[in-house]
Amino acid sequence: MGATSGTITYTTYFVVDEPPAGFREAFMESLQRHTFRDIQIDDGKDRSVGWTALGRPFDLELTWDKVFLDPYVGISLREDTIRIPKTAFQAHFDRRLREYCDQVGRDVLKKSEKANLKAEVLTTLRRRALPDIKIYDVVWNTVDGTLRLWTHSKRIRESFEEIVADSWGLRLVPQAPYTVVTARGDAAQAASLLDLEPTDLVGVSE
């Protein structure tokens, strides 16, 4: 979480361009298109990522008043993952394998038969498992153009950056020494940073 309570750890981005006219409507449509959905287990998936109301993993009704908290825009990215322990999978697979061999009257199976059995066992186990739920708050300060994602996880940052690039129509640049300068449009200072060399603090002074 983070934005509303709990640990405060975040990655800062700069929103580079001013949002175009009509942005809010397009933004809401995009959020609603990518609202969180349960994991599509029957499609062989074990993970799902999508938006929820800020700080509320089960609130999937994204309305204006829940998202636009002037001067902030606030939502949460929910990630559900199902993990089946290897030992549990192996035990269930071995049992299914024996059943299938008895059914078909053979001990030697084709590769495709084994692959199908594996997929079948995985799907069955995933349907029975409870997903691990994590949410990561996203808060955009529309006054100063900074956007905070409440995590440092590389995996989540990459998912988030992909979603934003695909569906928000915004360009985000991660905060770093160089981008602090470029974000305020100081091309001259940005260029001068590239010419600097690290300072030696132990050598002999001139």
Partner 1 sequence: MDLIDRLNSTSYLGREFLTWLWFLSDLQEGLISLGEDSPAIELFLTDRIVLSGSGQSAERVAIRTEDPSLSIEARTALRQGKKVEKATLRIISGQREWTVTIDGESLAVSSVKIPALLTRENDEKFHERLALIDQLDSMLLTLFEKFLSTRTDSSQWPTVATQMKDWVRDENPPDRFQIPPVHNDAPTSSPDEDSPAPDDDNETSETPDETPPF
Question: Which residues of the chain form contacts with partner 1 (CB under 8 A)?
Answer: 3-4, 7-12, 69, 72, 74, 139, 141, 144, 146, 148, 152, 173-181, 189, 192-194, 196, 198-203, 205-206
CB of residue 103 to partner 1, shortest distance in Å:
55
Instruction: Yes or no: say if 163 and 80 are a contact pair by the CB < 8 Å rule.
Output: no
> Toward partner 1, which CB reaches closer, 146 or 167?
146
CB of residue 69 to partner 1, shortest distance in Å:
7
Residues 6+ apart with CB under 8 A from 10: 2, 148, 149, 150, 151, 152
Please tell me whether residue 80 adopts helix, strand or coil conformation: strand
* Helix 86-104 and helix 111-128, axial crossing angle in degrees, nearest 10: 130
> Toward partner 1, which CB reaches closer, 163 or 180?
180
CB of residue 194 to partner 1, shortest distance in Å:
6
Residues 6+ apart with CB under 8 A from 160: 77, 136, 138, 149
> Toward partner 1, which CB reaches closer, 111 or 154?
154
Residue with tokens 């808060």: 139
> Toward partner 1, which CB reaches closer, 12 or 124?
12
CB of residue 6 to partner 1, shortest distance in Å:
11
